[in-house]
Amino acid sequence: MFKKISILLEMIKFKLTIFAMPFAFTGAFLGARGVPEWRSFLFVILAMVGARTCAMGFNRIVDAKFDGANPRTAGRALPSGAVSSFEAWGMVVAAGFVFFYAAWSLNSLTLQLAPFALGLTLFYSLTKRFTSLCHLVLGVALAFSPLGGWVAIQGSLVSYPWALSAGVLFWVAGFDTVYACLDAEFDKKTGLHSLPSRIGQRNAFRLAAGFHVLAFILFVLTGLQANLNVLYYIGVFIAACALFYQHWIVNPNDLSRIQMSFFSMNGFISLALFIATWLALITEQL
């Protein structure tokens, strides 16, 4: 059983929950204007784990046919037979239950927003079938992370720094556009949609760079909206350097280091912004 659970967690890349989790923490800490009380913080973690597990499991299920035909992804758990469809659906349903339980345990507004947040993440998995803007849809889905963290603590949308969610949207759209270059040729052959398959890898890289510049501007604006001190802006500067490094080590002619760019640097960026927010909030109380 433990081996099967390990395979399921690897199938959904559970360790990459770090992408969105720090932004949920950022929203929660901003909502509390410091460290949230432990019960709410625990349910924020539970909700994020449930939502991402449900969404990633659903993505693997609906894309199993395409993953099996793609040499890069043919070895994934569902196409290879390491996990059955029944087992995958069981994980998706269980994770969805965990998400809604956590939302219900927080407050009424969190529960009211929960179907929209989860529904959007599930819908994203279908968008490559009909639109090249799928990367932006994923960005909108993950933009709910800081919003959800704020609502979990505040129970209200009043005074929420909307620039934070907008920044997450374009940050995600940028790195997902770059990552989609790995499958640009496969997408063309199979009729799937992505920006690299539609406008070419070089133009996709340029657009992704534009998305990331916009994300940087919005993260700066977040600090202004939330009245954060200089420590936050130091974190934004570090994140901007990491974004620049991403575009420096990966280019349309050499995608060999894209895995490091996607999996390592983006986790670092979200964590750096959260830590910067945390430090800014605790130092303003000194």
- What domains appear along the chain, each with residue ranges and CATH number? 2-283 (1.10.357.140)
pLDDT (tens digit per residue) in 244-267:
888 888 888 778 778 766 667 888
Measuring CA to CA, which residue among 199, 280, 251, 260 is closest to residue 26? 280
Structure confidence at residue 51 as a pLDDT band (50, 70, 90): very high
> What does residue 251 show for φ and ψ, rounded to 5 degrees?
-140, 165
Residue carrying structure tokens 């109380």 = 285
What pLDDT sits at residue 234? 97
Q: Is the pLDDT of residue 13 over 70?
A: no
pLDDT (tens digit per residue) in 195-248:
999 999 999 999 999 999 999 999 999 999 999 999 999 999 999 998 888 888
Mean pLDDT value across the chain = 91
Q: Is the pLDDT of residue 9 over 60?
A: no
The residues near 206 (Cβ < 8 Å, ≥ 6 apart) are none
